[in-house]
Every structure is written in structure tokens, then in C-alpha cells.
Amino acid sequence: MKAVRLHSTGNLEESALKVEEVERPVPRNDEILLRVRTCGICHTDLHIVEGDLPLPKIPLTPGHQIVGIVEECGPGAGEFSRGDRLGVPWLYDVCGRCEFCRSGRENLCDNVRFTGYHVDGGYAEFALVRQGFAYRIPEEFNDLDAAPLLCAGVIGFRALRLSGIKPEEHLGLFGFGASAHIALQVARHWGCEVFVFTRSTIHQELARMLGAVWVGNADDAPPERVDSAVIFAPAGRLVPAALRVLKKGGTIALAGIHMSPIPEMEYSLLYEERTVRSVANSTRDDVRDLLKVAAAASVHTEVESFALEEAPIALRKLKNSELRASGALAVS
């Protein structure tokens, strides 16, 4: 099969990321072999390729927003059948034994493994997934539109939950791309008023189209303070900017897996019981719940399509904020 393989990390222009012929994987035990239809591209993929995250294996096939058709099931995978359409997110498997798994926090599992990081992912014609970590895609979404839901959508959804936002409250979104454009629609479905902070005119236009009641730059003052906020951009300088517009007792959720240093700031910005918290990975329930909400809310995803061989081009456009919202590799 064809697969995009990463042999060394570094600057995107210099990384050894290319399409190769490799052996097709064989499903064992509870594994399922998917014929990949499409795989979304993600900022985490970019962090992996550029070496911001230490790699547990190399060479590696990236990609963790996979939509595919069941090609073959292992002997212990009887839940799905050949021809079923499934989605695969970042969470590949967990141990089920550590204190975090036992307490319902499997996203923090001590022995967690991630798709396209610990195991080969979806930048390929075929990919493996464990039966308990695969999800049926709602019929409302075609393959391309479904791909961003599986990580961008799920992480944005978990970030909304951890921000404590409630129906009809004011929500601030800092940075606007694949995750934020889905989170905005979910928040609007919940009856929230959303303020979007982004410097990109393309992203400002999309935010307005999707229902943001106010759009501006991170240094601009919105019409009123927000009850909760989510920071999607991996820029630490946005933390004090978000605190300046956050109400007393409010929470800011940091949705990125990687962020530049948070600058020193006055304690008064954090005082009055404001909270800043990170968002780490997701649980299986997050995926199931997001897919249900996305279908109920008729979420619209903006996806630019690329061929498998164009993976470096797609990641370059992602890095330079040249995508309207999200991108995906159309594999088959």
C-alpha cells in the first residue's frame, strides 16, 4: 500500500516526509483493518513533523482523523462488519488499569497510545484501529466533512465542557480554525453568544458566517466580558489577553497539545477566582457525544481536500494559516 512516512523531524521544509510503498498491515485480535477514505490534517501532525513532540517511534505514518471502510476484522473484532464506515480519532487505546482509567479519566491514562504517534495513522491507504476505539460516522456527514470532527471537533467539544460554558452565556474563542469553527457551531446550538478573537480576515469572515456575534483581534475589547473562553491558538501570550476579558469566576480552557511560553503577568488578571486549565486528549465518551451533537446541530465543516501525495503542501498551508478552516487528505 501507499503511505506517507516520516523518517526525521525538523523544519517542515526539510523533514523526510514522503509517500512510500509499504506492507499492508494485518489485523490481529480485536483489530480492524480500514481502507482509508480520508484523513484530516491537524496541528498535532504539524507538531509531530516539526519535532515539537518527542516521537516514541520512527519511521511513522502520521494522521489521526481517519474515516474509512472496514476491509477486514481480526478474530476478536466481531462488533463491525466488512463495509461498515468508521471513524478513528487521536486516542488509540488505554490500559484500563491505572488510577486514571479506573476513575473515568482515560484521557490521562499512564499507558495511553495515540493514533499516528505511537502507532501508524491514516496518511495511508489502509490503517488499523482497535474495535473499542472505532466509531460509526453519522449518515449526515460525508467522508470529507466527517474527518475534522474526529479530533478538531472532539477536542473543541471537550474544551467547551471544561470551560464550564452554560446555555445563553457569553463565550470567547481565541484563534479560529478547524476546532474553533466546529466549537462555535456547538456553542450556538446550546444558545450561547460567541465572541471570536482572530487576526485573520479569512477566519473573521467565516466566524461571522457561522454566527459569531462579535469578531475582533486578541487585543480588542469585546462588547462585554465573557463567562468562559477557549484558546485554540498555540500562543501563550493569549492567556493574559483572555484573562483581561474574562468575568470573575470564569474559566479559560487551553485546547492545544503544545503552546509557546505563557508570559509573566499581574496576579490581578487571575484574581477573583478565575481559572486557567489545559485540555488533554479526549475520552471515548467525548467522541460519541460530539458525533451525536454534531448531527443534531447540523454542524457544517469547512474542509479543503488534498491528495495523499500533497501531505507536505497541506501541512504547510495549515502552518501558514492559509486554510479557511480545516484540511484533509482524500485517499480513496
CATH code, 34: 3.90.180.10
User: Looking at the structure, do residues 136 and 260 belong to the same domain, yes or no?
Assistant: no
The answer to whether position 148 is within a domain reads no
User: Looking at the structure, do residues 94 and 200 belong to the same domain, yes or no?
Assistant: no
pLDDT for 110 equals 97
User: Looking at the structure, do residues 167 and 269 belong to the same domain, yes or no?
Assistant: yes
pLDDT for 10 equals 82
The parent domain of residue 81 ranges over 2-141+301-330
CA 16 to CA 291: how far, in whole Å?
A: 35
Residue pLDDT, tens place only, 262-302: 999 999 999 999 999 999 999 999 999 999 999 999 999 99
User: Residue 91 in contact with residue 108, Cβ under 8 Å?
Assistant: no
pLDDT for 229 equals 98
User: Looking at the structure, do residues 7 and 78 belong to the same domain, yes or no?
Assistant: yes
pLDDT for 230 equals 98
The answer to whether position 146 is within a domain reads no
User: Which residues of the chain carry a pLDDT beneath 70?
Assistant: 13-15
User: Looking at the structure, do residues 310 and 262 belong to the same domain, yes or no?
Assistant: no
pLDDT for 15 equals 64
pLDDT for 140 equals 95
C-alpha cell at 215: 469578531
The answer to whether position 32 is within a domain reads yes
Tell me which DSSP letter residue 268 carries: G
User: Looking at the structure, do residues 62 and 131 belong to the same domain, yes or no?
Assistant: yes
Q: For residue 54, say if its preceding peptide bond is cis, omega within 30 degrees of 0.
A: no
The enclosing H or E element of 171 equals strand 170-174
Residue pLDDT, tens place only, 57-66: 999 999 999 9
- Please count the CA atoms within 13 angstroms of the CA of 143 that sit on its side-chain side: 18
User: Looking at the structure, do residues 49 and 101 belong to the same domain, yes or no?
Assistant: yes
pLDDT for 9 equals 87
The answer to whether position 219 is within a domain reads yes
The answer to whether position 294 is within a domain reads no
End-to-end Cα separation, the chain, in angstroms: 12
pLDDT for 16 equals 73
User: Looking at the structure, do residues 129 and 165 belong to the same domain, yes or no?
Assistant: no
CA 47 to CA 45: how far, in whole Å?
A: 5
Query: pLDDT exceeding 70 applies to what percent of the chain?
Result: 99
User: Looking at the structure, do residues 112 and 159 belong to the same domain, yes or no?
Assistant: no
CA 183 to CA 265: how far, in whole Å?
A: 28
User: Looking at the structure, do residues 212 and 113 belong to the same domain, yes or no?
Assistant: no
Is the dihedral angle over the CA atoms 247, 249, 255, 256 positive or is it negative? positive
